Chains A and B, each alone.
Chain A
Amino acid sequence: MMLEVKGIKFQYEKGRPFDIPDFQLSSGEQLLILGKSGSGKTTILNILGGLLKPLSGDVRLGDTLINQLSGAKLDKFRGKHIGIVFQKPHILSPLTVEENLSLANFFSGADGKRNQELLKELGIADKRRAKVNTLSEGEAQRVSIARALANQPDLILADEPTASLDDHNAEIVIKLLQDQAKKYNAALIIVTHDQRVKDHIVNQITIGALS
């Protein structure tokens, strides 16, 4: 499975468009997108994840042009093939840890056979019946990673996954993301301004200047 990004243009306000550099990423490969806040990092992620439509250009994941999908088709494709980890964990609080994962399975039609294994690998198996408000920040972020991985995505997008974590937890989270991506042969893209992440991934793009 290959991710291919070509000629993406986007603008929030009229007359202030910015470009996203073209790049390609194969299964199992990892990419770090660095940039200051406000440089459009999150926008790139939203476009890659099909949450935003670019003005022009293509985002191709495998055989699918994500920017040409719409409606429920896009939602289902995203649920099935793309796992997104946010800066904040955003665990659905009425549900338990386990239920957060099985909800992801439900929406994308996956079987969720790996859920227990995932929770174990991420070291939160004993919290699987816990509600989010009983989790620590680090645990919550691991749950959100587990949820992003619950459907065995081909592409993992992580938006500042370490921003609200201390050094120790940041290290663990990055490691977990990398290990899991490798293990399931998914492409991993981390968008961050966090210098701590820099040393972990060689493949980097820096964006900054609005063009």
Chain B
Amino acid sequence: MNMLKLSWKYLIAKPLNTGLNILLLALGLAIITVLILIQDQFENKMAKDAEGIDLVVGAKGSPLQLILSSVYHIDFPTGNIDMEEAQSLTRNRLVKKIIPLGMGDNYQGYRIIGTNHDYLELYQAVISEGEVWKKPFEVVLGEEVARKLELKVGDNFVGSHGIGSSSHEHDEHPYLVTGILAKMNNVLDKLVLTSIESVWYSHDEGHDHDKFTADVSTTGFPPTDEDREVTSLLVQYRNPMAAVQLPRYINSRSSMQAASPSFEISRLFELLGVGVKLIQGLAYAIIFIAGLGIFIALFNSLKERKYDLAVMRTLGASSFQLFIHIVLEGIILTLLGALVGIAIGHVFLALLVAQNEQGAISGLSAAVFLQEELWIVVYAVAVGVIASLIPAYSAYRTDIAKQLTRA
């Protein structure tokens, strides 16, 4: 027998009460856990996906939408821009590099992005199988696309029009898989990458053999004498001055709009922050009630237990040991609550991720454990100690003789 076992025995003597208290606390902590996990991974992921992209240029509309569609590939594009106007930006001395993107098609819900090899370089993508596209209609698949759709190098598929899985298929121009990327843990995993030419040609009427067999451009804009469009441009600045001048120049002097990923994302988090704060507040309220529940449970049980405590004193327990006995109950309760809560949080996130295969959440992992979760345990135990202090003091003060003669 020891103090820990003694407290434990008293807890499991009231399984319903104990279970309820643990569950209530676990619920509050589970919410906090999920918030911490999502926030951390979301911010990490968002920062990672936007790395190296200073500015996104696209059709006028919502700047946030432009960022979400062109950097994270989750929202719809704001529209297309004229390539000639887009190309004029390359002559701007503030611009170091431009990566054009062409969108509009998908394969089974995975977006087909027309771009050039610079895009792969931007994310330092590694090809695990096959090679990059060289001709029109050759594609490189993100790791998740290949895995989920069970596509291999050499396979053909037909893209469909639209960003999500839908509508008619471009059955006359099948794509050929020439390469598969290694797992990048970023937005590339969910993309089908090809040349801008592929996107153009798949929407063209007719079949021009010469064009279809020519090599595609690997950097910059594809040379063309036709009137072509792209969806958006990822821009890298040449110097810090560009951050001040370039967006203003594009927004006022062209029919295009420029949006900064870092600015828009911090704006997004600000918007989401209200909701997060609300949920957080709710979680803290639940934890507070759980703490109160533990306090009341301990305090009530103390009334029935004064006799037991007095008997323990006659058996040689000191007042301080009785104090520890009660505090330990609070600690055991909250420690279990914290562990159960963290477990529930991870399971909940795993379910959430499993249900959103292609959504924004799908890239999150429930198998990640953060340092903050240790703080949850510390925080919970602190709640336990505080909730048990008054009952424990009352146990400490138990007057043995009075208790024993009362019967």
Residues of A bordering B, CB below 8 Å: 42, 46, 49, 51-52, 71-72, 75-76, 78-80, 84, 86-88, 90, 92-95, 99, 102-109, 147, 151
Contact = CB atoms under 8 A, between A and B. Distances in A.
Contacts of A87: 407
B350 interface: no
8 contacts: A46-B405, A75-B313, A75-B319, A86-B407, A92-B311, A93-B308, A94-B9, A94-B13
Contacts of B1: 99, 102-103, 105-106
B307 interface: yes
A78 B404 CA distance: 15
A80 B316 contact: yes
Nearest to A103: B1
A60 to B, nearest CB: 19
B7 to A, nearest CB: 10
Interface in B278-327: 307-308, 311-321
Contacts of A99: 1, 9
B239 interface: no
Among B12, B313, B315, B321: residue with most chain A CB under 10 A? B315
The 10 A-B residue pairs with the shortest CB-CB distance, nearest first, are A79-B316, A94-B13, A72-B318, A107-B316, A108-B316, A51-B401, A106-B1, A102-B1, A75-B318, A104-B315
B312 A92 contact: yes
Interface of B is mostly: helix
Contacts of A107: 312, 315-317, 321
Given A75-B319, A103-B6, A88 B407 contact: yes
Nearest to B316: A79
Among B2, B12, B316: residue with most chain A CB under 10 A? B316
Contacts of A106: 1-2, 6
Nearest to A159: B404
Contact of B401 (A52, A71, A108, A151): A52
B168 to A, nearest CB: 71
Interface of B: 1-2, 6, 9-10, 12-13, 307-308, 311-321, 400-401, 404-405, 407
A72 B311 contact: no
A42 B10 CA distance: 29
A151 B9 CA distance: 22
Contacts of A103: 1, 6, 312, 315
A79 B307 contact: no
Nearest to B400: A51
Given A72-B320, A76-B318, 10 more contacts: A46-B401, A46-B404, A52-B401, A80-B316, A84-B314, A90-B307, A93-B308, A105-B1, A106-B2, A107-B315
A104 B308 CA distance: 12
Nearest to B2: A106
Contacts of A49: 314
Interface of A is mostly: helix
A153 B348 CA distance: 56
A87 B307 CA distance: 13
A51 B319 CA distance: 13
B318 A51 contact: no
Nearest to A90: B311
Nearest to B309: A92
B157 to A, nearest CB: 66
A69 B133 CA distance: 90
A37 to B, nearest CB: 11
Among A71, A93, A105: residue with most chain B CB under 10 A? A93
Contacts of B311: 86, 90, 92
A42 B313 contact: no
A86 B400 CA distance: 13
A199 to B, nearest CB: 27
B396 to A, nearest CB: 11
Among B2, B307, B318: residue with most chain A CB under 10 A? B318
B405 to A, nearest CB: 5
A24 to B, nearest CB: 24
A10 B290 CA distance: 46
A99 B10 CA distance: 12
Contacts of A104: 315-316
B316 A151 contact: yes
Nearest to B311: A90
A147 B10 contact: no
Contacts of B401: 46, 51-52
A42 B315 contact: no
Among A76, A80, A94: residue with most chain B CB under 10 A? A94
Contacts of A147: 315
A80 to B, nearest CB: 6
B9 A79 contact: no
A75 B316 contact: yes
Contact of A86 (B6, B316, B404): B404
Contacts of A105: 1
Contacts of B10: 94
A79 B308 contact: no
Among B9, B313, B321, B401: residue with most chain A CB under 10 A? B401
Contacts of B321: 107
